[in-house]
C-alpha cells in the first residue's frame, strides 16, 4: 500500500469515529472539502501544518495519525 493511501485510510477512520463529514472536518481545519477527499483517497498528501490542524479537529495528535498510517502501510 502506498503511504498516501495509508494516511488517507487512517484519516477517514478517525473522521468517521469523530462523527464528522468531510465538509465539517474541512471547515474546522480551514481546508477545502475536496482536499479532505483527496487526502482520504491518497491523491494528495498533507503538509505538516495541515496534518496538525486535522489532528486537532479529530482530537488526536499528528503522531497518532502517522502511527496509524504507518501500521496500515506495514501491514501489507
pLDDT tens for 2-31 read 999 999 999 999 999 999 999 999 999 999
Helices (H) and strands (E) in the chain, counts: 5, 0
Is 76 a residue whose pLDDT tops 90?
Answer: no
Q: What is the pLDDT of residue 1?
A: 86
Asked whether the beta carbons of 42 and 4 are under 8 A apart, the reply is yes
* Superfamily in which the 3-75 domain is placed by CATH: lambda repressor-like DNA-binding domains (1.10.260.40)
Asked whether the beta carbons of 2 and 41 are under 8 A apart, the reply is no
**Mean pLDDT taken over the chain:** 96
Asked whether the beta carbons of 23 and 51 are under 8 A apart, the reply is no
Amino acid at each position: 500500500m502506498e503511504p498516501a493511501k495509508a494516511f488517507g485510510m487512517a484519516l477517514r477512520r478517525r473522521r468517521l469515529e469523530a462523527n464528522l463529514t468531510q465538509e465539517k472536518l474541512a471547515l474546522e481545519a480551514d481546508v477545502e472539502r475536496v482536499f479532505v477527499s483527496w487526502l482520504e483517497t491518497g491523491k494528495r498528501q498533507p503538509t505538516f501544518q495541515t496534518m496538525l490542524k486535522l489532528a486537532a479537529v479529530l482530537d488526536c495528535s499528528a503522531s497518532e495519525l502517522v502511527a496509524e498510517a504507518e501500521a496500515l502501510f506495514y501491514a501489507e
